[in-house]
């Protein structure tokens, strides 16, 4: 059984947010849902101002508070470390979202077809651009059952009234592919691999680079390691936050 982890090299990230777009395309997430999010930070005052970036996927914690609090076991952790959501069991209590200190969970506040960037049910503009076919182009892989437990994983179809979050693109990982953000970063900020394999790229990176994990003091034991940088201090200011609005 592999032990999956991700490394994020902060010295490389230039804040282009291509990973956020890749994630949206891959997982069809509704408007204002960012399973991957890139903070743009500003620190200190002019002329010493420093701008830096911090991508934030789900941390796939080993001691995941979200898994602990789920009243029905819809949020679960696989043996390989992926933290996933059984969207057919989830009752939409949002306790996982409240318990997670990283803010990576997104609830489907309305029917996802209506929550896309265009209204997928009756927007003439959509039809005019798509030759009269109606999106969403749903990735059929995303709704399959995976792993030895054969469970659903919060794939890309999305249902009203349940929670969704980053899956490390389990449907790609199962095929031996990298998660979409990893594969699409133009400057190779992310690496994804098996911690148990000393030759895997993540193991090598962790051996040779200083690293930290986000909010380690919370005891969540994240599986996402940040290389070459420091955790955001309380003084950082977020600049250019996404204008997702409150459209849910």
Partner 1 sequence: MSGRAVALPYGVGRISLGWLALVAIAAALVGVGAFAYAIQELEGPIATGLRDWGTMGGATWGLYVSFIVYFVGVSFAGITVAALIRILGLTYLRPISRVAELLTIVSLILGALSVLADLGQPLRGIANLFRYARPQSPFFGTFTMVIAGYLFASLVYFYLAGRRDAYLMAQYPSPLRWLYRAWAAGYQDTPEEKARHERISFWLALGILPLLVIAHSTLGLVFGLMGGRPGWFSALQAPGFVVLAGVSGIGHIIVLAALLRWSLGLRDQPEMAAFRWLGQALLVLGIIYIYFTIVEMVTAGYAGREHEQRLAKLVLVGYYAPFFWTGMGALGLAIGLLASQALSGRWSIPLLVASGILANVTAVAKRLIIVVPSLTHGSLLPYGIGMYIPTWVEGAIIAGLMGLGALTILLFMKAFPIMEVPAPVEEVRP
Q: How many residues does the chain have?
A: 248
34 contact, one of ligand SF4, partner 1, none, CB 5-8 Å limit per kind: partner 1
29 contact, one of partner 1, ligand SF4, none, CB 5-8 Å limit per kind: none
Cα–Cα dist 10/185, whole Å: 13
Sites for ligand SF4 among residues 91-110 (CB under 6 A):
91-96, 100, 102, 104-105
Residue 1 within binding range of ligand SF4, rule CB under 6 A: no
Q: What token pair was written down for 39?
A: 């903070």
Cα–Cα dist 50/62, whole Å: 33
Among 187, 192, 188, smallest CA distance to 173 is for: 192
Residue 32 within binding range of partner 1, rule CB under 8 A: yes
Nearer to partner 1, 87 or 171 (CB): 87
Tell me the closest approach of the beta carbon of residue 176 to partner 1, in angstroms.
31
Residue 25 within binding range of ligand SF4, rule CB under 6 A: no
Tell me the closest approach of the beta carbon of residue 228 to partner 1, in angstroms.
19
Tell me the closest approach of the beta carbon of residue 200 to partner 1, in angstroms.
28
Question: For the window 46-85, what string marks contact with ligand SF4 as x by the rule CB under 6 A?
Answer: ------------xxxx--xxx--xx-x-xx-------x-x
**Bridge partners (DSSP) listed for residue 6:** 192, 224
187 contact, one of partner 1, ligand SF4, none, CB 5-8 Å limit per kind: none
List % helix, strand, coil for the chain (3-state, nearest 5): 20, 20, 60
Strands lying side by side in the sheet with 211-212: 190-194, 4-9, 224-227, 211-212
Run of H or E including 38: strand 37-43
Q: What burial class does residue 202 get, using C-beta atoms within 10 Å of its C-beta: 0-12 exposed, 13-18 middle, 19+ buried? A: buried
165 contact, one of ligand SF4, partner 1, none, CB 5-8 Å limit per kind: ligand SF4
Residue 2 within binding range of ligand SF4, rule CB under 6 A: no
Residue 116 within binding range of partner 1, rule CB under 8 A: no
SS3 state at 90: coil
Residue 219 within binding range of ligand SF4, rule CB under 6 A: no
Per-residue CA distances from 158 to 58, 123, 223, 230 (Å): 17, 19, 25, 35
Sites for partner 1 among residues 134-193 (CB under 8 A):
160-163
Residue 216 within binding range of ligand SF4, rule CB under 6 A: no
Binding residues for ligand SF4, per CB under 6 A? 58-61, 64-66, 69-70, 72, 74-75, 83, 85, 90-96, 100, 102, 104-105, 163, 165, 220
């Amino acid at each position: 059984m592999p032990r999956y982890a991700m490394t994020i090299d902060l010295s490389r990230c230039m804040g282009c947010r291509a990973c956020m777009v890749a994630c949206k395309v891959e997982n069809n997430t509704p408007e204002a849902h960012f399973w991957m999010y890139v903070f743009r930070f500003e620190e200190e005052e002019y002329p010493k101002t420093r701008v830096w970036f911090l991508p934030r996927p789900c941390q796939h914690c080993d001691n995941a508070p979200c898994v602990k609090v789920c009243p029905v076991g819809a949020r679960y952790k696989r043996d390989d470390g992926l933290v996933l959501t059984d969207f057919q069991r989830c009752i939409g209590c949002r306790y996982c979202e409240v318990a997670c200190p990283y803010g990576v969970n997104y609830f489907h506040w309305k029917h996802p077809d209506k929550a896309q960037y265009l209204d997928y049910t009756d927007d003439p503009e959509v039809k005019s651009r798509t030759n009269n076919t109606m999106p969403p182009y749903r990735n059929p892989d995303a709704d399959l059952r995976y792993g030895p437990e054969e469970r659903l994983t919060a794939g890309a179809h999305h249902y009203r009234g349940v929670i969704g979050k980053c899956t490390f693109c389990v449907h790609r990982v199962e095929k031996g592919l990298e998660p979409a953000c990893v594969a699409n970063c133009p400057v190779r900020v992310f690496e994804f691999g098996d911690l148990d394999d000393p030759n895997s790229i993540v193991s090598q990176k962790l051996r040779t680079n200083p690293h930290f994990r986000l909010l380690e003091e919370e005891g969540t034991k994240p599986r996402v390691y940040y290389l070459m940088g420091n955790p955001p201090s309380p003084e950082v200011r977020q600049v250019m936050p996404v204008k997702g609005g409150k459209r849910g």
